[in-house]
Amino acid sequence: MQTIDSDLQAVYDGEVATLARCILITRVDGEVYGFTSLDRDLVIGGVTYETARGFMTTDIGTGNNLDVDSSEVTGALHSESITEDDLRAGLWDYAAFRVFEVNYEDLTMGERKLRKGRLGQVRVERNAFHVETLGLMQQLSTSIGSLTSPGCRNQLGDARCGVVLNGGSPAYTFLGTITLVDADTITLEDTGLTQVSNYFQNGLITFDSGANDGIAREVKSSTALGVVVLQLPFPYVVQVGDTFSIAAGCNKRLETCRDKFANVVNFNGEPYLPGNDKMLQQGRRS
């Protein structure tokens, strides 16, 4: 059970409560941001908590039954710290957060802890963002182990897969430059591509220059002429001359692992396991 300063408890018990709710967010890239429900900024522990105009949170509930404790934060894009492009780039996804309340008239009273955990995936709709805050119990709902599946459960290039995407032989990652951009596709050059259509399907293209430097997107389809269609657009404008790397893709099928990567020994799936339709079939009477 949480113990708070007696003076702060007196504020809660009083007729007029001078309380402000604060949220401290630490993104996965290490950047730290603070926001407060107060109509002016607060400085707590060396962090400036920016007044968060238009922020709304659902009720925060805590139980003793190990259920996942979650709430939702909704806000308009007023803050210079939160831009639509950064949200769409995923920079705020799964950031660690801590929510607490303070007496804004006397910060020396300390804080009342309300919640900590991680943000879910951020959605952007009509110049506003929506994000679910997931408490620590969310980690207990994570599945441990793996289920059988006809497709491979490895990620191409990970330790279980063993395919060397960068620097191996044969090469599976190529460098290039953008030569053409339109509404739905980008065109690549200088990659030395001789691959068949959709060689890069399900692979990743990652920019190493321009506004999208360091950001990756999955390839939906590709042609032998270097035209690439993306599953999702890049958050920032792609410019002719931007440079990138692009890696081969894998559709998780046994024949792809065997014929494209010569890696069938590390295939981690059960392609010949009977499906539910076989299990539910009834035998015929003679």
- The model carries a pTM of 0.62
State pLDDT tens for residues 271-282.
888 766 766 666
Residues 105-136 pLDDT 10s: 999 999 999 888 888 777 776 666 667 766 55
How many CB atoms neighbour CB 272 within 10 A? 7
Q: Does domain 6-140 have CATH number 2.30.110?
A: yes
The residue with greater pLDDT, 63 or 13, is 13
* Of 279, 250, 247, the residue nearest 151 (C-alpha): 250
Provide the 3-class DSSP secondary structure of residue 84. Answer: helix
Which residues are CB-contacts of 158 (< 8 A; sequence separation ≥ 6)?
none
Query: What was the pLDDT predicted at 64?
Result: 47
Is residue 175 predicted with pLDDT exceeding 80? yes
CA-based diameter of the chain, in Å? 86
In this prediction, residue 179 has a pLDDT band, given cuts at 50, 70 and 90, of confident
Query: CATH says 173-247 is which class?
Result: mainly beta
| Domain spans of the chain, in order of start | 6-140, 173-247
